[in-house]
């Protein structure tokens, strides 16, 4: 935790919440203590019940990556997958939600590299790339965004709003070209380029393999079931290639692709 600097706990106010796709929501919160600290790739631990609720179920917070930050507001995009995210989806403007964050290791924003940077996102892996695009103004960036169909391109609007070139691909061809993100990436990626990817494990492994073949460097933002989110429970581990386990919450969620073994 100490290597990642500041984290705060804050009762954030719901500014807006909209259902924006078949199963995903866009939640904007006023969080003046946390929002200005967030670096792309970091997440917040969200209590799904409103402030003042004293029940015990669901017990844990939900880790959600930050999609965009505007002054003291931050936007989270999440999918309803179970009870916790369903309860979160019921929160309305004006209610308070407790946040802990920002947490985790961000994308390597401070690296002074001049090589082309590809931001590659799949489905619910797209949202953190909007903040990544915003926080890398000096770099030559291209976003490659994919999903099974148009309505699952969660956060693609936010990426496009940063003004960087966006290439879209869907498995059913309902938006952009037809296929998977690696099909597009393979056409544009060259030796020495850099890729930051976020999405399901299968996509991340395919992107990582393509980067290896192309001699491009690759960073992956991964997702694992988490309890605390700040390093104490050691529950969200991912296997390290050199042996042992890393904590997704504080050693990640962004890892160099050569650091982790997603199948381990």
200 is an interface residue for another protein by CB under 8 A: no
Cα separation, 145 vs 161, whole angstroms: 14
Smallest distance, another protein to C-beta of residue 262, A: 12
Q: Which is nearer to another protein, 2 or 71 (CB)?
A: 2
108 binds another protein (CB under 8 A): no
Shortest distance in whole angstroms from residue 10 CB to another protein: 13
169-172 contact pairs (CB < 8 A, 24+)? 169/144, 169/145, 170/146, 171/146, 171/147, 172/148
Is 191 near another protein (CB under 8 A)? Answer: no
Q: Pick one of 228, 252, 255, 257: the residue that binds another protein (CB under 8 A).
A: 228
> Environment class of residue 58 by beta-carbon count within 10 Å: exposed (0-12), middle (13-18) or buried (19+)?
middle
Query: Which spans in 47-141 are helix H?
Result: 83-89, 127-134
Identify which of residues 148 and 224 has a Cβ nearer to another protein in the complex: 224
Cβ closest to another protein, residue 7 vs residue 219: 7
Residue number, 110 or 242, with CB nearest to another protein: 242
> Are 197 and 127 spatial neighbours (Cβ–Cβ below 8 Å)?
no
Measure the CA–CA gap between 107 and 65, rounded to whole angstroms: 12
Is beta strand 141-147 parallel, antiparallel or unpaired with respect to 217-221?
A: unpaired
Is residue 219 within the footprint of another protein (CB under 8 A)?
no
Which parts of this chain interact with another protein (CB under 8 A)? 1-2, 7, 9, 47, 54, 56-61, 84, 100, 224-237, 239, 243-245, 264
């Amino acid at each position: 935790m100490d290597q990642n600097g500041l984290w705060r706990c804050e009762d954030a106010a719901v500014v807006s919440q909209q259902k924006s796709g078949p199963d995903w929501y866009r939640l904007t919160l006023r969080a003046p203590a946390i929002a200005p600290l967030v670096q792309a790739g970091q997440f917040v631990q969200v209590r799904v019940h409103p402030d003042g609720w004293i029940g015990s179920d669901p017990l844990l917070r939900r880790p959600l990556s930050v999609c965009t930050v505007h002054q003291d507001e931050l936007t989270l995009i999440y999918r309803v997958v179970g009870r916790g995210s369903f309860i979160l989806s019921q929160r309305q403007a004006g209610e308070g939600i407790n946040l802990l964050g920002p947490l985790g290791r961000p994308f390597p924003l401070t690296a002074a590299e001049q090589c082309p940077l590809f931001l590659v996102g799949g489905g619910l892996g797209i949202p953190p790339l909007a903040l990544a695009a915003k926080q890398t103004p000096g770099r030559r960036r291209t976003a490659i965004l994919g999903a099974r169909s148009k309505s699952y391109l969660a956060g693609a609007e936010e990426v496009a709003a940063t003004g960087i070139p966006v290439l879209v691909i869907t498995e059913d061809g309902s938006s952009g070209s037809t296929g998977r993100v690696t099909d597009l990436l393979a056409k544009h990626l060259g030796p020495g380029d850099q890729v930051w990817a976020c999405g399901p494990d299968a996509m991340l492994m395919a992107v990582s393999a393509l980067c290896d073949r192309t001699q491009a460097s690759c960073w992956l933002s991964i997702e694992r079931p988490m309890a605390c989110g700040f390093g104490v429970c050691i529950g969200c581990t991912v296997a390290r290639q050199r042996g042992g386990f890393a904590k997704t919450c504080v050693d990640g969620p962004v890892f160099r692709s050569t650091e982790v073994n997603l199948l381990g």
